[in-house]
């Protein structure tokens, strides 16, 4: 009964008219952003951060969460109708979704995606409800050494599991850690990398960096990449799938829910990796893998279920450990800090209304997504006809006005422009911006925890291994570093054995 009381109180928080309205608003904005290729939830949440200042913390996070999981379904629409993924997590949906569209079954693909998204999201929310308090209780035993190891592991996983090349992701993460050291040293008060500027004395603010790299940077990159001509979307009919389609997709939806939930918890996992893994799993399990890419309904159901499940479960490490699992979670982490809320093990106990209000809002948000996704397809198709050249200037103006209103600072506008150029160049040369922002967010935690740990250990770093949780996390850290080398050695050995076998056969 003690467990269910705060959960039920959380539903009371969500059902307040203001919170319901912002939940609806977040889901609708998320779907719209998913439909418009290029911008993405991370950029949108970064741009909207200034608007959350005058809102209650729980209301603000409910809206931002709705944008995140709403965008996962929105990206499906362009993948299916235009062969153009609106979201990175919808890339694999293109293969079979567009093939179904060419067969005149676009409605079926969108209907299956909507149902899979709802089931995956709901399964992940149930898992979040029961697992998050357990993780938070376990994390109460964490001290500075444990947080040091966890932050190190989080940064490494994000860098190595990122969509970009491993080396480029590690470079981006290193730059993020360097940016986190700008400003006064928290222990000695010495200025670091401030270039004599008083504006940098308190360090770099998270909001201009996020709004620059994800907002302005994405806009500049997409203006260059996208043509002004917009392809005419296919017509959509018979949106509700047949009983045969539902039966065929049911296994994929079940497997995608479980896979997405667990991959979403891992730092660096998230919706994109989950959708790729789900597609690979469905293709491997299929009796006839050649169907995939030609209109297999499982190729839409599995990935779309997995990416929504992962989007929801990625809130577990954020809310219970204070560790963002991906770039969007890093921005929501920043939003919580701006609102005066510190994510971590104490959040469940100290602010149960916010914790359970946000968790339970996802139940409502998923129902709203299912109700709206199918009837609103026609409106989203019309939105696809709006040229990026019209939307981009408006978005840039909103971004610059938004960042100025935070501190009424022209310096912040220059920072947004600078990091916008940095974000554009990163995308241009194949660097993933996510590791940079995550490393910047975790950099302060890493530095403070590491220095506190060394003070605790009297400067003896070997004592890290003497704490069981820290030792396990550091072991996983070393394993992740060594894994690529082990894989390469095994591949080399396999190739050598194959050559020796072939030589033996030829000699016989």
> pLDDT over 70 for what percent of the chain?
84
Which residue blocks in 229-384 are alpha helix, DSSP H?
Answer: 243-265, 270-285, 298-313, 315-321, 327-338, 347-350, 352-373, 377-383
Q: Which pair of structure tokens corresponds to residue 102?
A: 């060419």
The pLDDT of residue 171 is 87
* pLDDT for 161 beyond 60: no
Q: Is 192 helix (H, G, I), strand (E, B) or coil?
A: strand
Cβ-contact 446, 177 below 8 angstroms: yes
* pLDDT for 7 beyond 60: yes
> pLDDT over 90 for what percent of the chain?
6
Residue 229: band (very low, low, confident or very high) from pLDDT cuts 50, 70, 90: very low
Q: Which pair of structure tokens corresponds to residue 447?
A: 């530095």
* pLDDT for 471 beyond 50: yes
H or E element at residue 268: none
Question: pLDDT, tens digit, for every residue of 175-226?
Answer: 988 998 888 887 777 888 888 788 888 888 877 887 788 778 877 887 776 5
Instruction: Classify each residue of 137-148 as buried b or exposed e, where b means 16 or more C-beta atoms within 10 Å of its C-beta.
Output: eebeebebbbbb
* pLDDT for 162 beyond 60: no
Higher pLDDT, 303 or 50: 303
* pLDDT for 84 beyond 80: no
Lowest mean pLDDT among 147-161, 407-421, 423-437, 469-483: 147-161
Q: What are phi and psi of 321, to 5 degrees?
A: -115, -15
Question: pLDDT, tens digit, for every residue of 123-138?
Answer: 999 988 888 888 877 7
What does the alpha-carbon distance between residue 333 and residue 310 come to, in Å, rounded to a whole number? 17
Higher pLDDT, 38 or 336: 336
What does the alpha-carbon distance between residue 75 and residue 206 come to, in Å, rounded to a whole number? 27
What does the alpha-carbon distance between residue 7 and residue 352 come to, in Å, rounded to a whole number? 8
pTM value is: 0.73
Strand-pair partners of 192: 183
The sign of the CA dihedral 35, 45, 328, 12 is: negative
Residue 228: band (very low, low, confident or very high) from pLDDT cuts 50, 70, 90: very low
What does the alpha-carbon distance between residue 118 and residue 120 come to, in Å, rounded to a whole number? 6
Which residue blocks in 217-269 are alpha helix, DSSP H?
Answer: 217-225, 243-265
Question: What is the pLDDT of the chain when averaged over all its residues?
Answer: 80
Higher pLDDT, 335 or 41: 335
């Amino acid at each position: 009964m003690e467990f269910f009381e705060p959960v039920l109180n959380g539903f009371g928080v969500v059902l307040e008219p203001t919170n319901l309205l912002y939940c609806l608003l977040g889901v609708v904005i998320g779907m719209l952003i998913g439909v418009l290729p290029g911008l993405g939830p991370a950029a949108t949440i970064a741009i909207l951060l200034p608007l959350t200042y005058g809102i209650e913390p729980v209301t603000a996070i409910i809206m931002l969460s709705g944008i995140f999981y709403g965008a996962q379904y929105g990206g499906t629409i362009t993948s299916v109708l235009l062969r153009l993924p609106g979201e990175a997590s919808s890339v694999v949906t293109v293969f079979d979704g567009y093939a179904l569209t060419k067969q005149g079954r676009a409605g079926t693909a969108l209907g299956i995606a909507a149902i899979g998204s709802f089931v995956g999201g709901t399964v992940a929310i149930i898992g979040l409800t029961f697992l998050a308090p357990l993780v938070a209780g376990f994390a109460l035993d964490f001290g500075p050494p444990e947080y040091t190891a966890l932050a190190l592991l989080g940064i490494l996983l994000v860098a190595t599991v990122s969509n970009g090349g491993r080396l480029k992701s590690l470079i981006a993460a290193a730059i993020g850690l360097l940016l986190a050291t700008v400003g006064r040293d928290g222990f000695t008060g010495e200025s670091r990398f401030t270039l004599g500027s008083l504006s940098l004395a308190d360090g770099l603010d998270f909001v201009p960096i996020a709004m620059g790299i994800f907002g302005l940077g994405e806009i500049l990159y997409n203006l260059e990449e996208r043509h002004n001509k917009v392809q005419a979307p296919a017509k959509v009919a018979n949106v509700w799938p047949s009983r045969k389609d539902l039966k065929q997709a049911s296994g994929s939806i079940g497997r995608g829910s479980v896979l997405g939930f667990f991959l979403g918890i891992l730092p660096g996992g998230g919706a994109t990796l989950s959708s790729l893994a789900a597609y690979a799993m469905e293709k491997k399990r299929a009796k006839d893998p050649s169907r995939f890419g030609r209109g297999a309904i499982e190729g839409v159901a599995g990935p779309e279920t997995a990416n929504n499940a992962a989007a929801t479960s990625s809130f577990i490490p954020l809310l219970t450990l204070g560790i963002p699992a991906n770039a969007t979670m890093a921005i929501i982490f920043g939003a919580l800090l701006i609102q005066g809320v510190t994510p971590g093990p104490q959040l469940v106990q100290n602010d149960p209304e916010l914790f359970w209000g946000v968790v339970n809002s996802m139940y409502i948000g998923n129902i709203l997504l299912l109700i709206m996704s199918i009837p609103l397809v026609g409106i989203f198709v019309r939105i696809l006809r709006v040229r990026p050249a019209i939307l981009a200037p408006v978005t840039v103006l909103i971004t610059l006005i938004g960042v100025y209103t935070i501190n009424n600072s022209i310096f912040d506008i220059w920072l947004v422009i600078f990091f916008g150029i940095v974000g554009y160049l990163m995308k241009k040369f194949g660097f993933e911006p996510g590791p940079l922002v995550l490393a910047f967010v975790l950099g302060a935690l890493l530095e403070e925890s590491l220095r506190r740990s060394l003070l605790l250990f009297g400067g003896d770093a070997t004592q890290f291994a003497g704490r069981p949780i820290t030792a396990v996390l550091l072991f996983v850290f070393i394993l992740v570093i060594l894994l690529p080398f082990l894989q390469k050695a095994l591949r080399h050995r396999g190739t050598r054995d194959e050559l020796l076998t072939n030589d033996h056969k030829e000699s016989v």
